[in-house]
Amino acid sequence: MYVARIRDKYILKRMPETGSQHALTCASYEPPAVLSGLGEVIGSAIQSNHEDGTTTLRFDFSMTRKKPVTAAGGTAGECASSQVRSDGSRLSLRGVLHYLWSEAGLHRWVPAMVGKRTWSVIHKYLLRAACDKVVRGQALDGLLYVPEPFVLAEKDAILARRMAMFEHARQYGASARSLMLLVGEIKEIKDARYGKKIIIRHLPDCPFLLRSDIGEGLSRRFKNELELWSAFDDVRLMVCGTFGVTISGVPMIEELTLMLVNAQWLPFENCYEKTLLDRLVEERRRFEKCLRYNLAADKPLAAAVLSDTKEAVALYLVPPGSTLNVDEAIAQMREHCSFAAWVWDCSESALPALPSI
């Protein structure tokens, strides 16, 4: 561990890439990066500087827009990123969202958290996670907009803070408009008069328009996420996207990615992972959810890592019809750590008994 001075604060930080060397019960413990998509991007897309305590992030998407944003029809340009083309040298939008979620500690679960995770908590820790991150020489917390919890009595003050924050997304350079990064929970995706718009929870008076090419491809690109969001009442749909503000003052999303989280705000990719996470929470287990970052869907990774067992246990799932080579993933894991492995072949059985504490 070391002490870093960031602006006017002193912060206790863990030395980069040493999380797995801590005890399982330590707050600074982190499973080896090879168990998730973090291993692909750490040291390249994510570069830590322990001298000043900052972390430099490299994005594979633009934080500027060369042509002015005009109307819901948008301007000619590239289609929204599918968020699967990136390699490990730069973070995709999904990679950025997963990284912020991890840095905020929202991928971790202990029984004491039951009933204590609210949007107020999510908002606080996401902003804290961004405070020592740098993107192209700019502080990430100055570019990141996470809607604050809406309180009717503070409506005017909240609006004033939002408008001040949006000033960055209204600024033009010589040839480009600055963009900001949005992270929020989607309440509705609706048809607008022209195109589509997203209503963000806690922002009832501020719809985000979608560029026409994004709106048209949304149901196709994020078919699985939208199906699961519709199927389960306790599932939340998170959005991470870049946005600018039109000449008329309306925010417009340029690129986006979506992420499902369960009732405890733990990310998941399919109904089998949701079943596993719900069982872990129900049985009052302590664990970390492994996140994919930039990894393509055909690359296997651990679903979660238990930290309340004598030795850490990596949990793997094999969804029905999957061609994922879990044996290869487990062999790769054991090249880096001696964790035990638990595997659920979802096509052959119901969820088996979890490893004992």
b (16+ CB within 10 A) / e for 109-134: beeebeeebebeebbebbbebbbbbb
Structure tokens at 353: 């008994």
Instruction: Render the burial of 176-211: b for 16+ CB within 10 Å, e for the rest.
Output: bbbbbbbbbbbeebeeeeebbbbbbbbbeeebbbbb
Q: Chain-wide mean pLDDT for the chain? A: 88
Max mean pLDDT among 61-70, 161-170, 171-180, 273-282 falls in: 273-282
* CA 244 – CA 63 distance, rounded (Å): 9
Q: State yes or no: pLDDT of 335 exceeds 70.
A: yes
| Residue 105 phi, psi (nearest 5) | 75, 15
Reported as a single tens digit per residue, the pLDDT across 181-221 is 999 999 999 999 888 999 999 998 999 999 888 888 899 99
Q: One-letter amino acid identity for 226?
A: L
Confidence of residue 10 (pLDDT cuts 50, 70, 90): confident
Task: Report whether 23 contacts 203 (CB < 8 A).
Answer: no
Classify strands 304-306 and 287-289 as parallel, antiparallel or unpaired.
antiparallel
- How buried is 230 (Cβ within 10 angstroms: 0-12 exposed, 13-18 middle, 19+ buried)? exposed
**What does the alpha-carbon distance between residue 249 and residue 176 come to, in Å, rounded to a whole number?**
17
Q: What residue has token string 């238990």?
A: 306
Q: 78 falls in which pLDDT band (50, 70, 90)? A: very low
**pLDDT, position 70:** 47
- Highest averaged pLDDT of the listed ranges 74-83, 161-170, 281-290, 329-338: 281-290
Its pTM stands at 0.88
Query: What is the 3 state secondary structure string of 35-51?
Result: HCCHHHHECCCEEEECC
Cβ-proximal residues to 96 (8 Å cutoff; 6+ apart), any chain: 57, 59, 181, 240
Binning pLDDT at 50, 70 and 90, where does residue 244 land? very high
DSSP E strand boundaries for 96-172: 108-109, 133-135, 138-139, 144-145
The confidence band for 174, taking pLDDT boundaries of 50, 70 and 90, is low
pLDDT of residue 265: 98
Query: How many angstroms separate the CA atoms of 99 and 291, rounded?
Result: 8
* Bridge partners for 184 per DSSP: 239
Using CA atoms, how far residue 271 sits from 210, 224, 235, in Å, is 28, 10, 11
Enumerate residues 6+ apart whose C-beta is below 8 A from 152.
Answer: none
Residue 31 has pLDDT above 50, yes or no: yes
Q: Which of 1-5, 61-65, 94-98, 202-206 has the highest mean pLDDT?
A: 94-98
Rounded to an integer, the average pLDDT of 6-17 is 75
Residue 245 CB neighbour total at 10 angstroms: 21
Report the 10 Å Cβ neighbour count for 309: 19
What is the average per-residue pLDDT within 218-228?
A: 95
Question: Token pair of 49, please?
Answer: 């500087």
Question: Cα dist. 170→65, 180, 250 in Å?
Answer: 11, 10, 10
> What is the predicted pLDDT for the residue at 53?
80
121 pLDDT higher than 60: yes
Q: Say which residue, 166 or 77, is predicted with more confidence.
A: 166
Instruction: Round to whole Å and give the CA distance between 353 and 313.
Output: 13
